[in-house]
């Protein structure tokens, strides 16, 4: 990633600190402050800032990809960008069960989510042929429920042990949802930079 | 990533929520709770939990790699795992300047960090030939200074705008240090799974 020859939004989504060092360079959205947010308890608001930033960078990383690009497999062991987007959406769904409903996902839920949750061969076989709008819709619906659930709860709830997984609290669970998304976003950037399509708009850089 | 046939630590570092769903499965370190930590202001402690978790998963992702494996380039446009580890260390150093010293990195600092900070061709040329211990030492020294700096500050400092980059606060800056590390950890896992070495110990999965 270089300071020159990279579109500001791309650079920002990778290294806002470097953008901040550029003279007279505007700071576009998203926010570069983690702080309490209106409509959320203070600590939940800071967590929501992390979730929103992670999602912004994910959507930036896949912007404009065609179905063929979303389905592209770099090799026989990897996951397509589309499969990774489906994964992010079902991971978020699984945390709705664990944190908001305080239960483990049901067998039918796990069966429905299995290809996207575990990725690998089943994901390569089943998670394809969908346009970007399909994945964005799945992500948006999961995120809508996440923000509704977090807005309805308080900071004491956030750090209580989870009933179905007492070694974990909801704060970690929702950080981990963002952390897993960021991990796969790094892979999506790597994969996108190798699609070799003029449409990708991203530099050949990791 | 599959529920069966994956070492617990590997699984945990990817999906603790899935591990939590396995019957009678112990929850190894690190902590799966984000909450205030002894020795830190409450909000800073939650942030430190994020930084420690991210670093734990980075070190797990590179455990046991040889110098040749750390230097391996998947293609002519990518970065080696070693270069990504060097990048994580200098990004952390740059945040020491911005947040603790409230100044932009100096020209000599930026010149010294440039290959690891911007990665790409210079990184491919210069960041090689070092054993894992070299990168772990760089990461550990940077992290020691991070934790010392955070332990010495309060939550009001954490969310004040940064003097050298007022669009950002220290809370975002340090989350971003972890977020950038997690992004590259996702790439390191992808690269490691393709080293084709029995020594890597990780499944061929992203």
Q: Which fold has domain B44-192?
A: 1.20.120
Would you call B21 an interface residue with chain A, using a CB distance cutoff of 8 Å? yes
> Is A165 a residue whose pLDDT tops 80?
yes
Predicted confidence band of residue B60 (pLDDT cuts 50, 70, 90): very high
pLDDT (tens digit per residue) in B85-120: 999 999 999 999 999 999 999 999 999 999 999 998
Q: What span, in angstroms and rounded, lies between the C-alpha atoms of A151 and A80?
A: 33
Give yes or no for B9 touching A (CB within 8 A): no
Residue A32 bridge partners (DSSP) = B168
Q: Does B119 touch chain A (CB under 8 A)?
A: yes
Say what the pLDDT of residue A53 is. Answer: 95
pTM for the predicted model, two decimal places: 0.85
Is A171 in contact with B118 (Cβ distance < 8 A)?
no
Residue in chain A closest to B23 (alpha carbons) equals A165
**CB distance B17–A94 less than 8 Å?**
yes
ipTM: 0.84
Residue to mutate among B2, B5, B17, with most A CBs inside 10 A, is B17
How sure is the predictor about A29, in pLDDT bands with cuts at 50, 70 and 90? low
What Cα–Cα distance (Å) separates residue B132 from each residue in A117, A122, B59, B66, B191?
32, 35, 10, 7, 16
Lowest-confidence segment of A21-35, A37-51, B153-167 by average pLDDT: A21-35
Q: Pull the structure tokens for residue B13.
A: 């570092």
pLDDT of residue B31: 81
Q: Give me A119's structure tokens.
A: 């990725």
Residue B106: DSSP 8-state: P
Averaged pLDDT, A198-203: 46
Instruction: Give the helix/strand (H/E) hosting B187.
Output: helix B170-192
CA distance A158 to chain B (A): 9
Distances (CA, A) of B52 to B29, B143, B181: 11, 9, 11
pLDDT at A56: 95
Residue-wise pLDDT tens digits, A112-157 = 999 999 998 999 999 999 999 999 999 999 999 999 999 999 999 9
β-pair partners for A161: A169
Q: Which of B81, B185, B197 is nearest to B134 (CA)?
A: B81
């Amino acid at each position: 990633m270089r300071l020159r020859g990279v579109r500001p939004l791309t650079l920002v989504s990778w290294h806002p600190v470097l953008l901040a060092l550029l003279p007279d360079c505007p700071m576009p959205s998203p926010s570069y402050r983690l702080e309490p947010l209106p409509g959320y308890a203070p600590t939940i608001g800071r967590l929501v800032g992390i979730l929103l930033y992670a999602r912004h960078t994910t959507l930036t990383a896949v912007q404009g990809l065609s179905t063929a690009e979303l389905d592209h497999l770099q090799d026989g062991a990897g996951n397509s960008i589309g499969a990774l987007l489906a994964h992010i959406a079902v991971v978020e769904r699984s945390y709705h069960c664990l944190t908001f409903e305080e239960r483990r996902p049901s067998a039918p839920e796990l069966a429905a989510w299995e290809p996207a949750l575990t990725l690998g061969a089943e994901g390569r076989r089943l998670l394809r042929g969908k346009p970007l709008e399909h994945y964005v819709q799945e992500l948006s619906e999961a995120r809508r429920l996440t923000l509704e659930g977090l807005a309805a709860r308080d900071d004491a709830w956030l750090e209580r042990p989870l009933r179905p997984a007492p070694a974990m609290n909801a704060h970690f669970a929702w950080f981990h949802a963002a952390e897993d998304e960021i991990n796969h976003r790094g892979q999506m950037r790597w994969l996108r930079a190798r699609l070799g399509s003029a449409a990708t708009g991203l530099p050949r850089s990791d």
